[in-house]
Amino acid sequence: NAGVMQNPRHLVRRRGQEARLRCSPMKGHSHVYWYRQLPEEGLKFMVYLQKENIIDESGMPKERFSAEFPKEGPSILRIQQVVRGDSAAYFCASSPGTENTEAFFGQGTRLTVV
Amino acid sequence: AQSVTQPDIHITVSEGASLELRCNYSYGATPYLFWYVQSPGQGLQLLLKYFSGDTLVQGIKGFEAEFKRSQSSFNLRKPSVHWSDAAEYFCAAGGRGGGNKLTFGTGTQLKVEL
């Protein structure tokens, strides 16, 4: 059973471009979470999704950021018009349920905005 | 507000020595509690978790943690540290019913001296 797969592992974008980060959850997992890790900091929750639904987006910046988890295919975190402050590691986690379950994390996507 | 505090940013121990990493949480009710380890450039690996029941939790790689409700703590321990344990350790908490929307501490960087 493959783990949580994130791609790309490293992404370089110029200021003003769009960044698309993909996350394929573990097989059988229908809950996906996105976290951001800034340098020298812990992980900060961004958004929680189930198939075709956003459950909790309380950690998402109000502008330029969006996330989806379609019925088919990976979850996508999209950052429009990137700025230098968006440079960070973005981690995806998945779990099979909500109670008494643990989340499994991917290797992360390291976004660098130049 | 929910929070997780790891008071020690850096800890250095000698190989073979015992280790204790501190974690305190502030939540409305007893949360789910986790310890993760992160090696440089890598994702997070779950060491152990507490959902309910026995307050002493055994994890992988010889780690254990003790949940103390009276102190709102969930400290991680290992009786004898190995050089390969050098990494960053994160304590995290999640609200019951909130799935794996986790609040992370800022991490403790562990250095092991040979």
Q: Indicate the range of A90-99, B4-13, B73-82 predicted with least confidence.
A: A90-99
**Is there a contact between A33 and B99 if contact means CB atoms under 8 Å apart?**
yes
Strand-pairing partners, residue B38, are B44, B88
Q: Is the separation of the CB atoms in A78 and A86 below 8 Å?
A: no
pLDDT over 70 at B112, yes or no? yes
Q: What is the mean pLDDT of residues B18-24?
A: 98
Residue B98: the pLDDT is 65
pLDDT over 60 at B13, yes or no? yes
Cα–Cα distance for residue pair B113/A23, rounded to 1 Å: 37
Cα–Cα distance for residue pair B61/B63, rounded to 1 Å: 6
**Is there a contact between B104 and A43 if contact means CB atoms under 8 Å apart?**
yes
Give contacts of B 19-58 with A, CB under 8 A.
Answer: 32, 34, 36, 41-46, 49, 51-52
Token pair, residue B70, equals 């009276």
pLDDT band at B41 (very low <50, low <70, confident <90, very high): confident
Residue B90: the pLDDT is 96
Distance between B30 CA and the closest CA of chain A, angstroms = 13
**3-state DSSP call for residue A97?**
coil
Residue A1: the pLDDT is 54
Q: Which residue has the tokens 């643990």?
A: A102
Cα–Cα distance for residue pair B14/B89, rounded to 1 Å: 17
- Give per-residue pLDDT as tens, A34-89: 999 988 788 999 999 998 899 999 999 999 999 999 999 999 999 999 999 999 99
Residue B64: the pLDDT is 98
> Which of A3, A11, A22 is closest to A73 using CA atoms?
A22
CB atoms within 10 A of CB B31: 23
Q: For chain B, what percent of residues have pLDDT higher than 90?
A: 79
The minimal CB distance from B43 to the residues A41, A42, A107 is found for: A107
Q: For chain A, what percent of residues have pLDDT higher than 90?
A: 80
Residue A16: the pLDDT is 98
Q: What is the mean pLDDT of residues B11-39?
A: 94
Cα–Cα distance for residue pair A3/A24, rounded to 1 Å: 9
Residue B79: the pLDDT is 97
Among chain A residues, CA nearest to B38: A107
pLDDT over 90 at A98, yes or no? no
Cα–Cα distance for residue pair B97/B112, rounded to 1 Å: 38
**Separation of CA B32 from chain center:** 12
CB atoms within 10 A of CB B25: 20
Interchain contact B7–A (C-beta under 8 A): no
